[in-house]
Amino acid sequence: MLPLDASTYLLVLTGAGISAESGVPTFRDAGGLWEGHAVEDVASPAGFARDPLMVWQFYSERRANMTAVAPNAAHHALAEVERRLGDRFLLVTQNVDGLHTAAGSERVIEMHGNLMRSRCSVCDRAPFEDRTAYRRGVAPMCGVCQRAGRDALLRPDIVWFGEAIVAGALPRIETFVDAAGAGLRFLAVGTSGLVYPAAGLVDVVRARGGRSWLVNADAPANARSFDTVTLGAAGKVLPEMFA
Ligand code: APR
C-alpha cells in the first residue's frame, strides 16, 4: 500500500508498461514497438534525416493504432489520486500516447513529447495537434516555411534519442521535490529504468530522504533503488494501492 496523508507530496513516473493493458505495445518487451526497426532508424535525428518517409510511416502507424486505444484502470487510478492530492501530486510520463490526459490527469509532464502533435524540423513554430496518419510515401511539409520560400519537413513532436527532454520538465520536477520536504513519496510504474533522466528520478528522491515504490511486471534494471517493489500488472495493482 502507498499511504496518502495531509503531508504527502506524490511524484509519479510512468513508462510504456502502464499503457500495455490498453493495447499499446511497449518498447522492450517481446514483440515491442521496435520490431523490424532499429531504434536509431526510427527514433533519432540521424534516422529521420536518412529516411523521413520510413520514420513518418512508423509514427503514422502508431497514430492510427491509437484510435482503438483507451486509458486503463491504472491511468484512472492515478487521475483519482490527483483529484485527492491536488497540487501535491505531479505525474511525469515517458509515454507519448496521451492516455494519462485522456483519463483526466491534468498535472502531467510528457517528458518525451506527444505522438499526436507535429512540429517543424526547421522553424520555431509551436508544436501543433496533428492526428494525421500519413499514407505510405508521404512526409508532410511545413506550411509556414513554404510560405517563406523554404522546404522543411514536419516531424513528430517526440523527443528522440540524443535529444534533450521537453524544456522545463526538470526544473518543474525540482520545484515539486523542493516543496515536498519530508512528505515526498515517489511511485514508478511500468518502466524498464534504462533511459535517463527518467531512470534517475528515484535517486533524486532517495537523496532527499523520500520513500519510493515501484510497480512493474518484472524487476527492471534499477529495482534495487526502490524501498518497495510490487511485481504485477499496473491495471490490477494501482486501483488497490492507495490507502
Ligand atoms: N504493468 C506494469 N508493468 C508492465 C506491464 C504492465 N501491464 N507491461 C509491461 N510492463 C513493464 C515491463 O516489464 C518493462 O519493464 O513495463 C516496462 C516497459 O519498459 P520499456 O518498454 O523499456 O518502456 P519504457 O521504460 O517506458 O522506455 C523508456 O525508452 O524507448 C525509449 O523513449 C522511449 O519512453 C521510452 C523510454
Q: What is the mean pLDDT of each run of 10 residues along the chain (243 residues)?
A: 95 97 86 72 94 95 94 98 98 97 98 97 97 94 96 97 92 96 97 92 96 96 95 97 85
Compute the distance from residue 32 Cα to the ligand 1 centre, in Å.
Answer: 9
Does ligand 1 come within 6 angstroms of the Cβ of 13? no
Does ligand 1 come within 6 angstroms of the Cβ of 114? no
Amino acid code (one letter) for 5: D
Does ligand 1 come within 6 angstroms of the Cβ of 188? no
Compute the distance from residue 148 Cα to the ligand 1 centre, in Å.
Answer: 41
Domain ranges of the chain: 9-24+70-112+165-241, 28-65+117-158
Compute the distance from residue 59 Cα to the ligand 1 centre, in Å.
Answer: 18
| Whole-number pLDDT of residue 30 | 66
| Whole-number pLDDT of residue 27 | 81
| Whole-number pLDDT of residue 75 | 98
| Whole-number pLDDT of residue 37 | 83
Indicate which residues carry an active-site annotation: 112
* Closest ligand 1 atom to 15 CA: 26
CATH homologous superfamily of 28-65+117-158? SIR2/SIRT2 'Small Domain' (3.30.1600.10)
Does ligand 1 come within 6 angstroms of the Cβ of 17? yes
Does ligand 1 come within 6 angstroms of the Cβ of 216? yes
| Whole-number pLDDT of residue 32 | 62
| Whole-number pLDDT of residue 33 | 61
Does ligand 1 come within 6 angstroms of the Cβ of 156? no
* Closest ligand 1 atom to 29 CA: 21
Compute the distance from residue 190 Cα to the ligand 1 centre, in Å.
Answer: 5
Ligand 1 atom 23, closest CA: 16
Tell me the CATH architecture of domain 9-24+70-112+165-241.
3-Layer(aba) Sandwich (3.40)
